[in-house]
Chain A
């Protein structure tokens, strides 16, 4: 069976959930061979084996942290040369898409980004994408070279599928471009203790109706009662009420959780683009005419300052 390369997104050896989802999709197309780079690369092997990686190619060097993107492209190119895979799958993060683009160009292959599903076909993997603010669904293939496909978080279930996961050292020679862009400083983001926005099963978002940074505490309390991530509309972010890293929408994150709760968000196209594919959508808004209500499974027309605290209390009571 053909091998499929899976690029591993990890933090010091802790594999992030979207990579495990990729392994589920990779097994539909071939035998997953994982590529883990940088500090802690070898520590990823156990989790990857548990979810279907037959091999884990690892390489660690200071370049991966000290320079932007290109060292990782060099390593993946070496892995492609070593394995001759049927496809390369990469998580659809900002960095993942940049790595994928440069790799595809180097190996003379087409690229598809932001796939939300993947299936095998006689003509290679077929990727499903959600486009034009999720108003259309397309199916596409790479028609030249080894398909390079980036996949969005929450596109597949994480499945246990024990495999060998044998660790092998990857031989990497860095290109002249590898050291072109130096990372001169890095400030880790402070952990909020909440799930990652794009990976969360439940997202609670606030918008213009929240009316002030201090009022986001209400949104956070509701999120915490459900173990959810917190999102914000562009209006709320532009007003400085919540960080840009939490923005849901066209120029922010695109999320596809099991449950999306929009509070004080009217539902402009900008926002819908980032949350329309959520499984269940709930909204609370004062304006009965707000376009968000066209999308909802359940909507409450009312003041979020009344509804949200009551909802949070009721959830706490029910959860005991």
Chain B
């Protein structure tokens, strides 16, 4: 039987752009170019490798986001994923991580899955909690923050590199996996891949397709509230010296003056 892999991806504002907040204190997505979150490329890559090693596998990429989020799906399809699902609904604006995990879990269940693969975190919110939330909601094992992953005979194995130790993990499918940026460089889409992606199916679902009510998501449904967002004051200009043989000593003098030595 075919191994059904669902990869969750996020469309995020480019980190090298001028990211800021909209008036309602949600992330402004209009003024900054968006793209597939770099950390999700690693999830797509591992899905492709697992699928290549399996006898028969199908990769679905899934995103929740506004119209432009299709770009993220298209990138994943051009890397080699088979099909895509885009959950899009005006009522989703301002949804927090808990709400996002609800929408993703409903969509994953509707799509059908043996393995869910996520990136370690988004590059905008950077919470890194969605994979754990998905495992909790789906009631399946969480095998997360893997630097190495493999699937064989219905079992997922991987290496999780923590601060204190490196752990070998193992769980039966179905399961939720997240991979780090150490899991292996993501491939670039080939020209052939880009052309093929244009013909791959992208399904659009809204909240009613997932039996969700508007009150369960969006800013109103969020379980957290942002009261204020302020740009960090620029650091005051420091002293810059050119090393003319005494640079190290001058720096030591500065550090001593600041009581670090």
A interface, CB within 8 angstroms of B:
11, 68-70, 73, 93-95, 97-98, 100-102, 104-106, 109-114, 126, 130-145, 177, 180-189, 196, 202, 226, 244-245, 250-251, 258-259, 269-270, 273, 276, 280-282, 284, 288, 293-303, 306-315, 318-319
Contacts and interface: CB of A to CB of B under 8 A. Distances in A.
B247 A302 contact: yes
A187 B166 contact: yes
Question: Which of A134, A282, A288, A319 neighbours the largest number of chain B CB atoms within 10 Å of its CB?
Answer: A282
Contacts of A70: 142
Contacts of A177: 135-136, 139, 141
Contacts, number: 258
Question: Size band of the B side of the interface?
Answer: 35 or more
B129 A101 contact: yes
Given A182-B170, A189-B164, A140 B142 contact: no
Main secondary structure on chain A at its contact with chain B? mixed
A186 B247 contact: no
A295 B235 contact: yes
Contact of B227 (A132, A136, A140): A140
A142 B227 CA distance: 11
A84 to B, nearest CB: 18
B97 interface: yes
Contacts of A296: 235, 238, 240
B239 interface: yes
Nearest to A295: B235
Contacts of B98: 104-105, 110-111
A101 B97 contact: yes
Contact of B242 (A106, A269, A302, A308): A302
Contacts of B222: 110, 143
Interface stretch (B15-23, B54-62, B77-85, B199-207): B15-23
B260 interface: yes
B226 A138 contact: yes
B140 interface: yes
